Amino acid sequence: MIAEHAIILAVVLPLLAAPLCILLGRGFLSWIAASASVWTSFGLALHLLNRVLHEGTIRYALGGWEAPVGIEYRLDAAGALVMTVVTAIASIVLPYSYTSVRREIDEHKHHWFYACLLLCFSGLLGITVAGDAFNIFVFLEISSLSTYVLVSMGRDRRALTAAFKYLIIGTVGATFYLLGVGFMYQMTGTLNIEDLSQRLLAMSGDGVTPVYETTTIRAALSFLTVGISLKVALFPLHVWLPNVYAYAPSVVSAFLSATATKVAILIFLRVFYTIDGKAIPFEALPLAQTLVPFAVAGAVVASFIAVYQRDVKRLLAYSSIAQVGYMICGIGLATAAGLESGLLHLFNHALMKGTLFLAIGCVVYRVGQTRLELLRGVGREMPFTAASIVIGGASLIGVPLTAGFVSKWALLTAVLAEGRWVIAVLVIVSSLIAVVYVAQILHVMLIRKRPVGSERLREAPLWMVVPTFLLALSNLWYGVVDGRAADAARAAAAALIEEVAR
Partner 1 sequence: MLVALIAPFVGAILAVLFGRWPNVREGLSLVSGGITFLAVTQVAMALHAGEQIALTVLEPVAGLRLAFDVEPLGMLFALVASLLWPVTTLYAMGYMREHHEKNQTRFFCFFAISISVVMALAFSANLATLFVCYEALTLATFPLVTHANDRSAWRAGRVYLGILMGTSIGLLLLGCVAVYGIAGTTDFTTGGVLTGPLSDGKVSKATLGVVLGLFVFGTGKAAVMPMHRWLPNAMVAPTPVSALLHAVAVVKAGVFTILKVVIYIFGIDLVRDLDAHTVLAYVAGFTVVAASVIAMGKDNLKERLAYSTIGQLSYIVLGALVATQGSVEGAGMHIATHAAGKITLFFGAGAILVAAHKKNVSELDGIGKRMPITMACFLVGSLSIIGLPPAGGMWSKLLLVEGTAASGDWLLVGTFLVSSLLNIVYLLSIPMRAFLRPERADIDHHGHGEAPLSCRIAMVTTATLTFLLFVRPDLVYYLVQSLGQGASS
Partner 2 sequence: MDYLGLFNYWVFIVLMMCGFYMLLSARNLVKKVIGLNLFQTSVFVFYISTGKVDGGAVPIATDGVDVYSNPLPHVLILTAIVVGVASTALGLALILRIKDEYGSIEEDEVDLQDALS
Binding site for partner 1 (CB under 8 A): 337, 340-341, 344, 394, 397-401, 405-407, 409-410, 412-413, 416-417, 419, 424-425, 428-429, 431-432, 435, 439, 447, 478, 480-483, 485-486, 490
- CA distance linking residue 112 with residue 418, whole number of Å: 49
d(CA 208, CA 214): 10
Residue 447 contact partner, candidates partner 2, partner 1, none, CB within 5 to 8 A by sort of partner = partner 1
* Shortest separation between residue 188's beta carbon and partner 2, angstroms: 12
CA distance 397 to 322: 11
Q: Among 8, 141, 210, 480, which residue sits at the site for partner 2 (rule: CB under 8 A)?
A: 141
CB 489 within 8 A of CB 407: no
Examine residue 137 and tell whether it contacts partner 2 (CB under 8 A): yes
What DSSP state is assigned to residue 109?
A: G
Residue with smaller CB distance to partner 1, 108 or 449 = 449
Binding partner 2 by CB under 8 A: which of 15, 57, 102, 164?
164
Put residue 498 in one of left, alpha, beta given phi > 0 → left and psi -120 to 50 → alpha: alpha
Instruction: Residue 286: name its binding partner from partner 2, partner 1, none (Cβ under 5 to 8 Å by kind).
Output: none
Size (the chain), residues: 502
Task: Tell which one of 22, 172, 422, 432 touches partner 2 (CB under 8 A).
Answer: 172
- Nearest CA to 212 among 235, 196, 223, 190? 196
* Residue (279 or 439) nearer to partner 1, CB: 439
**Of these partners, partner 2, partner 1, none, which one is at the site of residue 304 (CB under 5 to 8 Å by kind)?**
none
Q: How far is the CB of 401 from partner 1 (least distance, A)?
A: 6
- Report the relative pairing of strands 58-61 and 72-75 from DSSP bridges: antiparallel
- Cα 112 from Cα 22, distance rounded (Å): 6
φ/ψ of residue 407, rounded to 5: -75, -30
Does residue 139 bind partner 2 (CB under 8 A)?
no
Three-class SS state of 3? helix
Smallest gap, in angstroms, from Cβ of residue 417 to partner 1?
6
Q: What is the rounded CA–CA span in Å between residue 382 and residue 207?
A: 69
| Pairwise CA distance, residues 441 & 439, whole Å | 5
Render 129-171 in DSSP notation, one character per residue: HB-BHHHHHHHHHHHHHHHHHHHHTSSSTHHHHHHHHHHHHHH
Binds partner 2 by CB under 8 A, chosen from 149, 230, 280, 403: 149
- The verdict on 226 binding partner 2 (CB under 8 A) reads no
**Residue (166 or 384) nearer to partner 2, CB:** 166
134 binds, among partner 1, partner 2, none (CB under 5 to 8 A by kind): partner 2
Q: Do 163 and 148 meet the contact criterion of CB atoms below 8 Å apart?
A: yes
Q: How far is the CB of 190 from partner 2 (least distance, A)?
A: 10
The half-sphere exposure of 383 on its side-chain side, counting CA atoms within 13 A, is 0
| Shortest Cβ 138–partner 2 spacing (Å) | 6
For partner 2, the binding residue among 39, 185, 304, 409 (CB under 8 A) is 185
Helix ranges (DSSP H) in 233-335: 241-247, 250-269, 279-284, 287-307, 312-332
- Partner that binds at residue 161, options partner 1, partner 2, none, CB closer than 5 to 8 Å by kind: partner 2
Q: How far is the CB of 198 from partner 2 (least distance, A)?
A: 18
Binding site for partner 2 (CB under 8 A): 134, 137-138, 141, 145, 148-149, 152, 157-158, 160-161, 163-164, 167-168, 171-172, 174-175, 178-179, 182, 185-186, 191
